[in-house]
Structure 1
Amino acid sequence: MSSLSYEAIESSHQLVRYMMTLALCSERLIVLMIIFPPTSDSVVQGRLRTALSLLWGSFVAYGQHGTLDQQSGLFLVGVGLKEALIGVGLGFAASTVFWAAESVGTYVDDLTGFNNIQMSNPSSGQQTSLTSTLLSQFAIAAFWVLGGMMSLLGAVYESYQWWPLENLAPVGGRIIEAFVMHKTDSLMETVAKLATPLMLLLLLIDIGFGFTGKVSSKLNLTSLGQPVKGALTVLMLALLASVFIDEVRGQLSLSNITAESRAIAHGN
């Protein structure tokens, strides 16, 4: 065989190794984007999401030259499973504020009695209540407007420092478990903070109509409670939209996710 043939074979082997490295480097990001509401199947098409993941993962793959060349197939399978696990953890951490907004809307519709009215949520492709869909779309729009994707990519790139591609075990110990538990607690706390004002307002309306019905039993005020609660809920949502953005601005822009992951990785 000529030297040209050997060079062609060697080039093909290098291309295969690079494509394998690129696939592993993009897996963490593509799993995250599948879970993340602003980049889910109903918002970003699968081909576009895969292309973006490969594009952003190529920067990581460029710095991994020669890292996985001499590894066995079983080791590469382990790396692939590990990368998928990290993507799930990061996707869960980044999605909590969007799930909180949707949960607040569902909770409010349950209190007002409009939870039986369902519509298709464009971000999830599932049937959700009206207020839940409104707050979910509101949070997703705020995420893109506030530049949250830049912070998310920064957190993904920095995650390769505390859990490198070639390491099956993290640098800082049980990172994923601690990170997910921390974000779960913050999810419940965010839902409680955002839903409490509306919950108290609706509770006062129920108490007021209840006392009024007891005093004037001839007036049937029970049927008026639900329309009044619905109208006041719409008014409160319109008035508190800016307050909602100010309250969760850091979470929507994901400006703190890098610092949180770094602190948990170092055991703080």
Structure 2
Amino acid sequence: MCVALGLARIGPALLFVPLFGEKALAPGLLRSAMMALIALSLLPVLAPTGQTLSDIPLLSTVLKEATIGLVLGFLFGAPYFAALACGEILDNQRGATMAKAIDPAAGVDASVLATLMGFLWTVTFALGGGLLHLLDTLAASYRQIPIESALTFDATTLYGTAKLLGQALLAGISAAMPALAAMLFVEISLGVLSRFAPQLNPFSVAMTLKSLVACLVLLLYFSGEAPRFLYNRFDEWSLPTLFRGVL
């Protein structure tokens, strides 16, 4: 029974973690087994203290646990959303997703660089000990809000959640800034050049040059400094530190 109640929080909490997504784990038995193993590993902090399970109202407890799990899921996915935002911004500026902006109904649905950045962040998350941080945070959530306790949201919690999502967008823009600056320089150069060569079509040339420059700058992301930068960013996004002001 404790494991079943634990899955009500752990399942939604892992909903936005890419390692537990549909691309990594097929939905069904395998994903459910992984979540059950995580619930079993958290059983010492998951079991209610001072009350028996028969004294806990089941429906309201499941709804409360699912709500907490969804909030944790959004916060767990915030760094991943930052990586996706970086790729989406770069593809938008180089013109790869122009069809989506002009005609959202008939345009492309996926960004190539967003997918690449998402995979890069997933690997960094796994190699940087992200799963251990995730388990620590889940355990801390059960210490702060046990199964038998009532759910209360105050202004500090809501502000901390909104601030963290804002930091995710800011991190995505910061990661995209080197390539954005290079593409802006290309656009300014083509604008000046078109004044002296009116027959030049800067719109069509800009898309090709910006894609080339963006790819060259992205190569620097995979140099010796880029992995160190990502690990430093992961230290800044250490989950126990982030949740210290939220839980």
Q: What are the ranges of 5 or more consecutive residues in structure 2 without an aligned counterpart? A: 101-107
Partner SS state of residue 149, structure 2:
coil
2:103 is matched with none
Shift of residue 210, structure 1, vs aligned partner: 0.9
Q: 2:151 aligns with which of 169, 172, 177?
A: 169
Contact 2:25 2:31 in 1 (8 A): yes
After superposition, residues 100-179 of structure 1 pair within 5 angstroms as 100-115=82-97, 127-170=109-152, 173=154, 176-179=157-160
Q: CA, structure 1 residues 36+176, in 2 after alignment: closer, same or farther (shift >3 Å)?
A: farther
Hey, what's the Cα distance between the residues in 2 that align with 1:77 and 1:245? 46
Query: Distance between the aligned counterparts of 1:96 and 1:252, measured in 2?
Result: 12
- Listed one character per residue, the Cα deviations across residues 159-183 of structure 1 (whole Å, up to 9, x for unaligned) are 111111110135x855652342121
CA-based RMSD of the aligned residues comes to 2.6
Partner of 1:92: 74
Cα pair 1:108 1:198 within 8 Å, conserved: yes
**Which residue, out of 14, 25, 28, partners 2:9?**
28
Q: Residues 204, 56 of structure 1: CA spacing in aligned structure 2 closer, same or farther, 3 A cutoff?
A: same
What displacement does 1:250 show? 5.0
Q: Aligned equivalents of 2:118 and 2:95: distance in 1?
A: 19
- Contact 1:148 1:253 (C-alpha < 8 Å) held by counterparts: no
The aligned residue for residue 12 of structure 1 is none
Structure 1 residues 28-84: Cα deviation after superposition (integer angstroms, max 9, x where no partner)? 111112222221122212322211211121243355267333315xx2211111111
Q: What letter is aligned with 1:33? A: L
Give 1 or 2 for the bigger CA radius of gyration: 1
CA deviations 1:122-157 (Å, max 9, x no partner) are xxxx94121111111111122112221111111101
- In structure 2, the partner of 1:188 is 169
Counterpart residue type for residue 189 of structure 1:
L
* Percent pairwise identity: 21
- CA distance in 2 between counterparts of 1:221 and 1:182 reads 40
Consecutive unaligned residues in structure 1, runs of 5 or more: 1-19, 119-125
From 37, 44, 57, give the equivalent of 1:55: 37
Change (3 A) 1:221 1:77: closer
2:193 maps to 1:212: yes
1:197 aligned partner: 178
Which amino acid is the alignment partner of residue 42 of structure 1? K
Contact 1:151–1:253 at 8 Å: present in 2 too?
Answer: no
AA of the residue aligned to 1:111:
Q
- Specify the code of the residue in structure 2 equivalent to 1:182: K
Aligned length: 236
Name the counterpart of 1:69.
53
When the two structures are superposed, what TM-score results if normalisation uses the length of structure 1?
0.78
Letter in 2 for 1:70: S
The 1:186/1:260 distance shift into structure 2, 3 A limit, reads same
